[in-house]
Amino acid sequence: MGEKLREESYLAGEGLATAIFLALKLQKPLFLEGEAGVGKTEVAKVLSRMLETPLIRLQCYEGIDVNQAVYEWDYARQLLHIRTAEALGTTGGDRSRLEDELYTRQFLVQRPLLQAIEHRGENPPILLIDEVDRADDEFEAFLLEILSDYSVTIPEIGTVRAERPPVAILTSNRTREVHDALKRRCLYFFIDHPDLEREVEIVRLRVPDAEERLTRQVAKAVQRLRSMDLYKPPGVAETLDWTEALVALGAKELNEDLIEATMGSVLKYHEDQQRVLLQSLSLLAGS
Ligand SMILES: Nc1ncnc2c1ncn2[C@@H]1O[C@H](COP(=O)(O)OP(=O)(O)O)[C@@H](O)[C@H]1O
Ligand SMILES: [Mg+2]
């Protein structure tokens, strides 16, 4: 599994590779937890390429509800339909028939969960339920239900069921604990920041234009930043952005001036930048 992931430019540790393998084999949802930028969302994208199957993404946010996740009725089109029927005089006074017409497939808007359930294809789709920790308890309870039987009842239409369960990937940035019940339904894996060697390899893989010396220096500097108790420690995403910025400036190796000039690629909070500027630019530049 590790090899296949690498072919798609993703470097997973053995633990993660095994978790992904098992999730596919046992057809269980995979719950990935970890700080921002450690590569959680990317797992779903990589699997979609690897298994040559569509990625259906449900981005969670505060206040997300079932309508936004499963289906909605297209009010604007329904209204237009009524107006047109009235204008053409085709209602014939038969209100109830007109109303029936309004709740048919034609006016149904599929949201990601329904799309995943109704997907028909050679392979089940990848269903990415991203940043579950942002949704509220009620929505979590609803997800639990969906993940148990992948069926949805639309009162006006009936019950639809997935032919085969989608490959579900749930992620959480751990801004709060997600309920045990939901985790119990899934295989759980915590993605940590990579160690130095793996991060160097990730940068080599993703930013092949970077000089080897620069790559190492950046990876080391990022590791140091992570140990500095910052408000927002950099993830792999920031390491890659930073390296790309340095390469764009033609840098062959890191120095204090370059760090200062490109700091916005790796630290996104003013306080964190101030702190690093005060303490340890020279420390970071050291190879
Ligand atoms: N192990 C890895 N191998 C290759 N690229 C990685 C890895 N981990 C993270 N990345 C890259 O870092 C960036 C951020 O990853 P992402 O999945 O968005 O993080 P998260 O969802 O955990 O916040 C992406 O561009 C991704 O390609
Ligand atoms: Mg993400």
- Ligand 2 centroid to Cα of residue 75, in Å, is 32
**What are 84-104's pLDDT values in tens digits?**
988 887 766 677 788 888 999
Is residue 206 in contact with ligand 1, taking CB distance under 6 Å? Answer: yes
The structural domains of the chain, with segments of one domain joined by +, span 2-70+111-190, 72-106, 196-278
* Residue 122 burial (CB count, 10 A): 7
Task: State how far Cα 172 lies from the chain centre.
Answer: 9
Question: Is it the case that residue 280 has pLDDT exceeding 90?
Answer: no
Residues 2-70+111-190, CATH architecture: 3-Layer(aba) Sandwich (3.40)
Torsion of CA 98, 103, 105, 111, to 10 degrees: 150
Once rounded to an integer, what is the mean pLDDT over residues 119-124? 93
CB of 47 shorter than 6 A to ligand 1: no
Q: Which atom of ligand 1 is nearest to the CA of 194?
A: 1
Q: Which ligand is nearest to the CA of 33?
A: 1
From the CA of 45, how far away is ligand 1's center (Å)? Answer: 10
pLDDT (0 to 100) of residue 277: 86
Q: Does the beta carbon of 70 sit less than 6 angstroms from any atom of ligand 1? A: no
